[in-house]
Amino acid sequence: MKLVVATPLELVVDADDVREVRAEDPTGLFGVRPGHAAFLTVLVPSVLRWTTDRARYVAVRGGVLSVRGDRVDVATREAVVGDVLDALEGEVLRRFAEADEQERVARTRAARLEVEAVRRIALGLRARP
Q: Which pLDDT belongs to residue 84? A: 75
Closest CA to 23 of 79, 96, 105, 103: 79
Q: How far apart are CA 93 and CA 72, in angstroms?
A: 26
CB 79 within 8 A of CB 85: no
CB 32 within 8 Å of CB 26: no
Check residue 28 and give left, alpha or beta (phi > 0: left; psi -120 to 50: alpha).
left
Q: pLDDT-derived band of residue 129, with 50, 70 and 90 as boundaries?
A: low
> What are the tens digits of pLDDT across the range 78-126?
898 888 776 777 777 777 788 788 889 999 999 999 999 998 888 888 8
For 91, phi then psi, to 5°, come to -65, -40
Instruction: Look at residue 96 in the predicted model and tell me its pLDDT.
Output: 75
Would you give the DSSP letter of residue 5?
E
